[in-house]
Amino acid sequence: MPILPDGTIEVEHVWKKFRADRTAPKFYDQMKRFGRSIGSPGRHDYRWVLKDVNLEVPPGGTLALIGINGSGKTTMLKIISQVTYQSAGRCSVQGRIGALLGVTSGIQPELTGRENVFLYGAVLGMGRQTIRERFEEIVEFAGLTDAIDRQVKFYSMGMQMRLGFSIAAFLEPDILLVDEVLSVGDANFQQKCLNRIGEVVRLGTTLLYVSHDLASVEASCERAVWLADAVVQAVGPTKEVVSKYRSAVEQNAALATSSEGAVQVLKVEINASDGGQVRSESDLDICLRLQAPEAYDANFFIGVSQGTAFPMFIVRHSGSFPAGEFEVRCRLRHVPLSRGRYSLWPAMSGHARGKGKPLLPWRPVTSFDVMGPDLPKLPEGVMVLSPVYVGADWRVD
């Protein structure tokens, strides 16, 4: 086997099975299970959580794992960090690993922050001397200068996460694994963490990043892997994988909410107001044909999203709607959308809040393409919450 340079991750045909969940905790059932396991060794109940996964990250590369809960992302990270072992296949990882699997993974509540820095540092493979040298830096980054000699059980969740992240990020490992831990921190610290991750990557660290926050995924990773149902669905440049993942999430959302609510959407039309292609900053005409069993006084919403259930913006109209078939027309002026595909989400609800089902539940009914400029490349490590296009005139004197 050739010696790979530090920071390389190679995962070939990795499979992982878990024991079937114990659904029957009764003593009798346990005994039966025990008897069966003795009777036919090796034939336990199990389910696959990873099937035939292949990954390859060169030193200094950045890879994101995305997918819904339970799709195997964390298990993959655990196998790579050798916390757990694969059931089949080969996984070779070269170099020192700094793994942040969970917010408070290495943090001991009974100890003070200072003692935790040394403990967690040692757990992550740092020598005492190294920790002592970096101690001030770590504490300052975590913003815990005042609290460092307090027992960690008196820390807030965010403070614990800050401590954990700071230690892992200042260890300067060959490989940094980050599993959905940043979400606990406030926006300010999240940005600080992303900056630090960018910095570490620039220094040559390999990054493996798991997050549901697709904006931060796009900001920090070149490539992405989409896991679903224990299988790698797609792998490639982050933007393309993310958009595939988004459209899959959309489809599921549409399936989950279809045929609910009293009002039905019959037809949707989206056009540029001048009749041509929809372009950035042009006006957009939306025409929805709907059917209602009775007349309503209601709020009507239209949202536009780039895939996930979180809209980039919403417009609202409050008024009366007739029974039977009717049309809702809406002109969106100067839509600030960059080039790409977007989803349209209509919704309708009665004025009395929180009473009964919405008349028309919030779900995407159609998607449309926008022509125009791409968004500018962001500064490293920066993410935008709503990636909208805003025309700008510049002058540099």
Residue 27's alpha-carbon distances to 18, 21, 39, 44, 321, in angstroms, are 22, 15, 18, 18, 60
- Residue 36 touches another protein, criterion: CB under 8 A: no
Q: Which parts of 68-97 interact with another protein (CB under 8 A)?
A: 78, 81-90, 97
With CB under 8 A as the contact rule, the residue among 6, 15, 272, 281 that binds another protein is 15
Measured distance CA(347)–CA(244) in Å, rounded: 25
Residue 256's alpha-carbon distances to 260, 268, 291, 362, in angstroms, are 9, 20, 21, 11
**CB-nearer residue toward another protein: 89 or 143:** 89
- Minimum CB separation of residue 15 from another protein in Å reads 4
Alpha helices in 290-358 (DSSP H): none
Number of residues that bind another protein (CB under 8 A): 55
**CB-nearer residue toward another protein: 80 or 335:** 80
Q: Which parts of 112-141 interact with another protein (CB under 8 A)?
A: 115, 118-119, 122-125, 127-128
**CB-nearer residue toward another protein: 83 or 388:** 83
Judge whether 211 and 180 are in contact, CB under 8 Å: yes
DSSP 8-state symbol, 151: B
- Nearest one of 90, 89, 88, 126 to 106, comparing CA atoms: 126
- Minimum CB separation of residue 233 from another protein in Å reads 6
- Nearest one of 245, 217, 244 to 71, comparing CA atoms: 245
* Residue 312 neighbours by CB distance under 10 Å: 18
- Minimum CB separation of residue 6 from another protein in Å reads 16
Q: Which parts of 187-246 interact with another protein (CB under 8 A)?
A: 222-223, 231-237, 240-241, 244
Measured distance CA(313)–CA(301) in Å, rounded: 10
- Nearest one of 346, 373, 371 to 286, comparing CA atoms: 346
Measured distance CA(10)–CA(16) in Å, rounded: 16
- Residue 272 touches another protein, criterion: CB under 8 A: no
- Residue 111 touches another protein, criterion: CB under 8 A: yes
- Minimum CB separation of residue 268 from another protein in Å reads 28
Judge whether 305 and 343 are in contact, CB under 8 Å: yes
**CB-nearer residue toward another protein: 20 or 295:** 20
Q: Which stretch binds another protein (CB under 8 A): 48-56, 263-271, 276-284, 299-307?
A: 48-56
Task: Enumerate binding residues for another protein (CB under 8 A).
Answer: 13, 15, 18-19, 51-52, 54, 56-58, 60-61, 78, 81-90, 97, 99, 101-102, 104-106, 108, 110-111, 115, 118-119, 122-125, 127-128, 151, 222-223, 231-237, 240-241, 244
